[in-house]
Chain A
Amino acid sequence: MGALSVKHLLGIKYLKTSDIQTIFSTADRFKEVLSRPIKKIPSLRDITIANLFFENSTRTRISFELAEKRLSADIVNFSASSSSVKKGETLIDTVNNILAMKVDMVVMRHPAPGAPVLLSRHIDANIINAGDGINEHPTQALLDAYSIRERIGCVAGKKIVIVGDIMHSRVALSNIFCLKKLGAKVMLCGPPTLIPKFIDTLGIIVEYDIRKALEWCDVANILRIQLERMEHTADGKTVRYFPSLREYALYYGVNKQLLDSLKNEVIIMHPGPINRGVEITSNVADSKQSIILDQVENGVAIRMAVLYLLAGKVME
């Protein structure tokens, strides 16, 4: 297996296309491992990994943890609410404390964009960004593209629409970078208030009509409406980007009826957790068109691949 061109996985924007291909081919091997009766291999036996979650996450944390365990790494977990970090100990102090215990790699989820980049300037350990605010979530994008590749053979030339809250999503940006690097055509669809003004500079198409978007695409990646990110306080006032979940579900939600009325069969993806009945209905999420659970399964293989490849740098 080849090596990556980077020491850290800070974002897809810092990866070469060949890095993505390397991660995919490594993940193929680990997927095979995961189908064996004994799923554990000793590759990272000498490696200690700290999972630092400064923001709530269940799926990503479990997926990383499982990947680390399958590779026989030693793990320490740290969770903190972002507010306590803001008030007290700084990020660099927290991480230095953990590194003083001789940790080789850091997997970090953090609410501030660029936090992993800041960290990479101050510590020696390899860093994997598990989501930094609304910036990137590289392993999610990798597992999404990997799942598309698995289902329809390749990503290049395919049409993929990302639906929902583009503005407050860490999944969207990484997905755009990853899919574009792999040669896909990317469209964004959602209420205009949730689509950043200059997003088209990334070479994507913007469409406000969900039906037109679905008619166009091969794959629809439906984002979670991040209720917790939806409301902001500015000057003591709450900022709402759309009036109600009801209206969102009516005009941007993906339901069976809408999918059945299309000429094409669209593959449905969702990074989870799903707000059933809001951005996607249950009968869509659980349908044959959906590869949502494949995404979850592939997530472990992709994260094993990333950990393995970056750890290779440690052992050099």
Chain B
Amino acid sequence: MDLLLRSARIIDPSQYSRIRILDILIRNGQIVSIGKNLKNTSGTKEITIKNSYVSPGWFDLYAGFCDPGYEYKEDLQSGSLAAASGGFTGIGLRPDTHPVLDSKGSIEYVINKTKNNIVDIFPYGAISQNLNGADITEMIDMARAGAAAFTDADQSVADAGLMMRCLLYAKGVGKPILHFPKTSSLSPDAQMNEGETSVRLGMPGEPAISEELMVNRDIYLSEYTNTPCHLLKLSAAGSVQLVKRAKNKHIPVTASVTAYHLLLDEHLLESYNSNYKLSPVLRTLKDKRALIKGLKEGIIDVICSDHNPQDMDAKKKEFAYSEYGMINLQTAFAVANTALQNKLPLSKLIEAIAINPRKILGLPIPQIAIGQKANLTIFDPKQSWTFTKNNIKSKSANSPFIGLKLTGKPLGIINNNQLYLNKT
């Protein structure tokens, strides 16, 4: 693929602190020239998008494609398309499929099926066999097959002993553990945040300490084993404080937040709308503000989509019986950007969705520089747009953002010598 991107606002925080407006010439998927008013001698296809920005390709640390097993919700192809449309050139894939990605064979299935994709797919292996929370998986074998990290997805590892052994074992493998912190036994029936709202709605609530207790345990285990541990999808202000303290003590923990936790809070549950049944639960305004502050201060490293497709039948149900999650790959950037406007510099946002996820996984960071492979996202952080049902690339449509005006739009990606552009 040959391409000349005209007057792109290049934002590449791992290289430069300021934005440069330059042309980028790509040949065979490689960046061959960057400069002002590059001459197009060989009739290369040109793209000029007004007010567009170009950054290193975005990476989603945590998404689910439901394949194998639940292909009627999403599959590797439709998920990849949603990712491309959402501006992502790399995806870390949760392993809670059916069967679970807990063996070499299942990891190879994902890798083989997504070869030659424009979006790089990095499957994660499960921590415990069949997510049973008890028996450690064959991590070395899976890592050799291409597993990028290990996680039991939205199932928290309750057994501290297992968690410790997994951290140690994964250290030998050289791959990180991503853990979703939740103490399920505190509130076994809870499906929303515990507080004034849950009391009013007559629904069992999950206290913030459900998360904080587990964050604390993981910090201790990370310190004790001197092993990196990534805390997935923080939702509570207290957790941010705990991670702050841990980072100050140089304990190797990192943390992420979903894009939607930056924009939504528990009040939306007043209508018992199952589109707001999310994992972790939506918490209070105060928590939301603390998460944004945590991003600003670098306590939270990553913003993820937590893309979790559910078919209509799984969602159009009583709140208590419906499934968790929302599709969010196409809206993640816009949702985060809308929430963070005037609160976080754009370069910080790009770090959180392009640079830091790859750092955590130990993957090379794409650079916008001559001689580098073109792995880019083209976007407009100021464009207002409405996400509609017709826009959806996923097989599922479980999004509370349908019909909502958002600011910031992914326009396209370039990766693996391929170009994807959203229709404008």
Residues of A whose CB lies within 8 Å of any CB of B are 11, 13, 86, 90-92, 110-115, 117-118, 132-136, 167, 170, 173, 196-199, 201-202, 232-235, 237, 239
User: Could you tell me if A112 and B320 are in contact, using CB atoms closer than 8 angstroms?
Assistant: yes
**Looking at chain B, what size class is its interface with the partner chain?**
20 to 34
* Closest A residue by C-beta to B317: A90
User: Could you tell me if B204 and A91 are in contact, using CB atoms closer than 8 angstroms?
Assistant: no
Smallest distance from the beta carbon of B266 to chain A beta carbons, Å?
A: 12
Q: Which residues of A contact B321 (CB under 8 A)?
A: 86, 112
User: Could you tell me if A112 and B313 are in contact, using CB atoms closer than 8 angstroms?
Assistant: no
User: Could you list some 18 contacts between A and B, CB below 8 A?
Assistant: A92-B316, A111-B320, A112-B321, A113-B272, A114-B272, A114-B320, A132-B202, A133-B320, A135-B201, A170-B202, A196-B198, A196-B199, A197-B194, A198-B194, A201-B200, A232-B188, A235-B158, A235-B185
Choice from A117, A167, A199, A239 contacting B188 with Cβ under 8 Å: A239
Q: A13-B200, A198-B194, A234-B188 in contact; A118/B319 too (CB < 8 A)?
A: yes
| Complex Cα–Cα for A197 and B187 (A) | 12
Known: A113-B272, A113-B319, A198-B205. 19 other contacts (CB 8 A): A91-B317, A91-B318, A112-B319, A113-B201, A113-B203, A114-B202, A117-B272, A118-B318, A118-B319, A133-B320, A135-B203, A173-B199, A197-B194, A198-B198, A199-B199, A201-B200, A232-B189, A235-B158, A235-B185
* Closest A residue by C-beta to B207: A197
User: Could you tell me if B318 and A110 are in contact, using CB atoms closer than 8 angstroms?
Assistant: yes
| Complex Cα–Cα for A198 and B313 (A) | 33
| Complex Cα–Cα for A63 and B316 (A) | 31
User: Could you tell me if B201 and A201 are in contact, using CB atoms closer than 8 angstroms?
Assistant: no
| Complex Cα–Cα for A237 and B205 (A) | 19
| Complex Cα–Cα for A167 and B200 (A) | 12
Q: Which residues of A contact B271 (CB under 8 A)?
A: 117
B196 at the interface (CB under 8 A from A): yes
User: Could you tell me if A173 and B202 are in contact, using CB atoms closer than 8 angstroms?
Assistant: yes
* Closest A residue by C-beta to B204: A134
Going nearest first, the 4 A-B pairs with the smallest beta carbon separation are A135-B202, A114-B272, A234-B188, A112-B318
B195 at the interface (CB under 8 A from A): yes
* Closest B residue by C-beta to A232: B188
Q: Which residues of B contact A136 (CB under 8 A)?
A: 202
B14 at the interface (CB under 8 A from A): no
| Complex Cα–Cα for A10 and B206 (A) | 24
User: Could you tell me if A202 and B200 are in contact, using CB atoms closer than 8 angstroms?
Assistant: yes
User: Could you tell me if B318 and A234 are in contact, using CB atoms closer than 8 angstroms?
Assistant: no
Within 8 A of A (CB), among B188-224: 188-189, 194-196, 198-205, 207
Within 8 A of A (CB), among B100-135: 133
| Max chain B Cβ within 10 angstroms of own Cβ: one of A118, A170, A199 | A118
| Complex Cα–Cα for A86 and B205 (A) | 21
Q: A198-B199, A201-B199, A202-B199 in contact; A114/B185 too (CB < 8 A)?
A: no
Q: Which residues of B contact A112 (CB under 8 A)?
A: 318-321
Q: A234-B184, A234-B188 in contact; A113/B196 too (CB < 8 A)?
A: no
* Closest A residue by C-beta to B319: A114
Smallest distance from the beta carbon of B343 to chain A beta carbons, Å?
A: 29
